[in-house]
Amino acid sequence: MPLKQQIGNKRIIIALDGPAASGKSTTARKVAQRLGYIYIDTGAMYRSVTLKALEQGSLEVVRRSPECVSALLENISICFQGEKIFLDGRDVSLEIRDNRVSREVSFISSLKPVRDRLLEMQQEFGRERGVVMDGRDIGTVVFPDAELKIFLVADARERAKRRYLELKAKMTEGSELPDIESLEEEIKSRDRADAEREHAPLKKHPEAVEIDTSGLTIEAQVDMVCDLAREIIAGQPGR
């Protein structure tokens, strides 16, 4: 019997945390599909804010005066429709994956006004439970009470290869594809920035289950998470 038929009306929150390119988004999306849950890509939300800053030419202003980011957040709209993400009513699903956004997203996501505003949005998304959310602080800050907390890790070189293939698949005419070595350095730099930032640094929740995805297929990762979800749901009264 399919898992989503087995769980009936029992609904939990599944939080997947981990560094860049550890497999969070793909795993979370597929877990949500199997469970019949809503998938929320919180990394895409931070990328959307970063894209807005880049397009408005306000990134350097924010660098000099971080408090200016509040103006960027005024009346901002971020929503999901299936696997697409819309920023202020516009589909930015591909644009937010551009490497120029990847280079700047750690800085934008380190700013407290940004994290506070997106935290409100994320908690609202999960209010009715039955969601799978991935990011870098979902289990520690956004939903520390999530019934299932997962922390995905992977070797930096392996993550760079994944990022390279992702960018290659989404290349558009005139775009430049970075080499794996430079992507690996960017990932290591981003790891340091995420772990050392003042507000909501990347860290593993004490209750989180750590899964090393370096040698795992996506399907194996999804199976592991769904098995853990099944165990938790089976032991709960209906929600």
Residue 237 is assigned to a structural domain of this protein:
no
Residue 164 pLDDT more than 60?
Answer: yes
Residue 172: pLDDT band (50, 70, 90) is: confident
Domain count, the chain: 1
Count of C-beta atoms within a 10 Å radius of residue 51: 23
Residue 82 is assigned to a structural domain of this protein:
yes
Residue 234 is assigned to a structural domain of this protein:
no
Least confident range of 17-21, 29-33, 41-45, 235-239: 235-239
Q: How far apart are CA 195 and CA 189, in angstroms?
A: 10
Whether residue 129 contacts residue 12, with contact meaning beta carbons closer than 8 Å, is answered with: yes
Q: Write b or e for each residue in 14-23: b if 16 or more Cβ atoms lie within 10 A of its Cβ, otherwise e.
A: bbbbbbbbbb
Q: How far apart are CA 56 and CA 53, in angstroms?
A: 5
Residue 2 is assigned to a structural domain of this protein:
no
What local confidence, expressed as pLDDT, does residue 87 receive? 97
* Category of 86 on φ-ψ map: left (φ > 0), alpha (ψ -120 to 50) or beta: beta
Q: Domain of 106: which CATH number?
A: 3.40.50.300
Global pTM value = 0.79
Residue 4 pLDDT more than 90?
Answer: no
Q: Residues, the chain, total?
A: 239
Q: Is 233 or 173 the better-scoring residue by pLDDT? A: 233
What local confidence, expressed as pLDDT, does residue 1 receive? 44
Residue 175 pLDDT more than 90?
Answer: no
Residue 4 is assigned to a structural domain of this protein:
no
Residue 236: pLDDT band (50, 70, 90) is: low
pLDDT digits (tens, 9 = 90+) for 96-152: 988 899 889 989 998 999 999 999 999 998 888 899 999 888 999 999 999 999 999
Q: How far apart are CA 79 and CA 66, in angstroms?
A: 25
Whole domain around residue 125: which residue ranges?
13-222
> What does each C-alpha distance from 112 to 67, 90, 109 come to in angstroms?
9, 25, 8
